[in-house]
């Protein structure tokens, strides 16, 4: 073989090795990117689930919720019933 053919063969082997290294590096980078994407996707799902649960909880148990309104009405009704009983006791006493 002459010097030029040897040089070309060496370059071919070197190019093949570099292509394999590049393929491996790209595959590793793709795997890491997919893994990162999967983690962020899960974090997004978890965050949206927590937000939905918090919103539902606020609607059910918040300051202006139906349960809070019923609690306030019950408190007022209890207060009025107590005052009514007190007035009845005073009326019986007199």
In tens, the pLDDT along 73-84 reads 888 888 888 888
In whole angstroms, give the CA distance from residue 6 to residue 14. Answer: 12
| pLDDT band with cut points at 50, 70 and 90 for residue 10 | very high
Helices then strands, each counted (H, E), the chain:
2, 0
CA atoms within 13 A on the CB side of 72: 8
pLDDT tens digits for range 16-75? 999 999 999 999 999 999 999 999 999 999 999 999 998 888 877 777 777 778 888 888
């Amino acid at each position: 073989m002459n010097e030029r053919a040897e040089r070309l063969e060496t370059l071919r082997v070197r190019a093949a090795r570099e292509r394999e290294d590049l393929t491996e590096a790209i595959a590793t980078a793709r795997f890491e990117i997919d893994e990162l994407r999967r983690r962020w996707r899960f974090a997004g799902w978890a965050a949206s689930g927590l937000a939905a649960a918090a919103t539902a909880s606020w609607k059910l148990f918040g300051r202006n919720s139906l349960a809070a309104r019923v609690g306030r009405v019950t408190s007022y009704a209890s207060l009025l019933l107590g005052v009514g009983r007190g007035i009845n006791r005073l009326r019986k006493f007199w």
